């Protein structure tokens, strides 16, 4: 398991800086899904992001000797909520968060998030971004400079448009997630990075950052490790869906529509269509 210590920054009224430790454990599930166990090291309480299935989560809870109090679902797809029911039967008091609009679609949901709501477990307090596009209820969880993006943003890619429009996804990626600080750590829902980077390279062959990351990710994954998390800084350099202003991408995409000058949203739409058949 990959363990990352995350120091979450919280300032208090005395302007003294206090650091509350949250530990993040990546748990691979199913074929290529990632669940994440978030541990509040002050209290020994834990939350799990998108439990695809119960058993690997149970195993890690035992391993870490923590108490699961919370499930954080980024959206209602079965590969992100598959463990909800069984974990609820293990921990009947568990809180299960999701967007308010996912009511009836997230099994056993108890918390229905609306604008301005907070997400709490142990001594940790987080927020969320409502970022429709992949689904109509998709959200990203935020704890300080750590974000859990589900199937909205992947390293070098984004989720398919199952329920949202291309413009909604453009907005979610570029005007919401993309506006987070450069050093934000982004933990995403699937290990698709190598394929995403190959696509990124196909529309931007001159981007050496993509090439370099592809080599790094291949090495990581072949050694049994994972490509999660990424950062905003990295994504701005390598993710075509955050690079709709790139001259090379615009040129490649314009070949599909040589008559017209494309807006960034049109470039985005064309990229998503190209990726669907890549």
Q: Is residue 120 a contact partner of residue 111, using CB atoms and an 8 Å limit?
A: no
Q: At 98, which helix (H) or strand (E)? A: strand 95-99
Annotation marks residue 76 as catalytic: no
Cα angle, residue 52 at apex, residues 49 and 55 outer, rounded to 5°: 100
Encoded one letter per residue, x for contact with Zn ion by CB under 5 A and - for no contact, window 73-92 reads: ----x---------------
Annotation marks residue 77 as catalytic: yes
Annotation marks residue 9 as catalytic: no
Cα-based distances in Å from 234 to 100, 156, 238, 269: 31, 9, 6, 22
Q: Which of the residues 195 through 254 are near Zn ion (CB under 5 A)?
A: none
Cα-based distances in Å from 70 to 47, 112, 148: 4, 13, 15
Indicate which single residue of 60, 102, 111, 151 sits in contact with Fe ion (rule: CB under 5 A): 151
Q: Which of the residues 109 through 168 are near Zn ion (CB under 5 A)?
A: 151
SS3 call for 88:
helix
Choosing from 50, 75, 76, 102, the catalytic residue is 75
Annotation marks residue 190 as catalytic: yes
Annotation marks residue 102 as catalytic: no
Detail the DSSP E strand segments found in 117-244.
119-121, 124-130, 139-143, 146-150, 153-154, 157-158, 185-188, 230-231
Annotation marks residue 134 as catalytic: yes
- Does residue 191 bind Fe ion (CB under 5 A)? no
Distance CA 96, CA 184 (A): 25
**Least CB distance to Fe ion at residue 204 (A):** 25
Q: Which of the residues 57 through 116 are near Fe ion (CB under 5 A)?
A: 79
**Least CB distance to Fe ion at residue 194 (A):** 17
Annotation marks residue 75 as catalytic: yes
Choosing from 50, 76, 99, 190, the catalytic residue is 190
Catalytic residues: 75, 77, 79-80, 134, 151, 190
**Contacting residues toward Zn ion, per CB under 5 A:** 77, 151
Interacting residue ranges for Fe ion, rule: CB under 5 A: 79, 151
């Amino acid at each position: 398991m990959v363990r990352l210590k995350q120091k979450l920054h919280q300032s208090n009224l005395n302007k003294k800086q206090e650091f509350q430790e949250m530990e993040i454990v990546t748990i691979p599930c199913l074929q290529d899904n990632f669940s994440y166990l978030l541990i509040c090291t002050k209290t020994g309480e834990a939350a799990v992001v998108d439990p695809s299935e119960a058993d690997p989560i149970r195993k890690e809870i035992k391993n870490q000797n923590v108490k699961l109090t919370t499930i954080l679902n980024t959206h209602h797809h079965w590969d992100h909520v598959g463990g909800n029911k069984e974990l609820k039967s293990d921990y009947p008091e568990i809180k299960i968060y999701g967007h308010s609009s996912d009511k009836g679609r997230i099994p056993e949901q108890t918390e229905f998030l609306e604008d301005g709501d907070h997400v709490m477990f142990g001594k940790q307090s987080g927020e969320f971004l409502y970022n429709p596009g992949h689904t109509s209820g998709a959200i990203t969880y935020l704890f300080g400079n750590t974000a859990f993006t589900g199937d909205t943003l992947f390293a070098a890619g984004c989720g398919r448009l199952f329920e949202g429009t291309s413009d909604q996804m453009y907005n979610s990626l570029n005007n919401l997630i993309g506006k987070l600080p450069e050093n934000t750590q982004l933990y995403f829902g699937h290990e698709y990075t190598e394929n995403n980077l190959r696509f990124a390279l196909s529309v931007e062959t001159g981007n050496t950052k993509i090439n370099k990351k592809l080599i790094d990710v291949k090495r990581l994954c072949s050694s049994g490790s994972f490509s999660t998390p990424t950062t905003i800084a990295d994504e701005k350099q390598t993710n075509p869906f955050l690079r709709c202003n790139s001259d090379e991408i615009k040129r490649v995409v314009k070949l599909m529509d040589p008559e017209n000058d494309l807006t960034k949203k049109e470039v985005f739409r064309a990229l998503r269509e190209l990726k669907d058949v890549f």
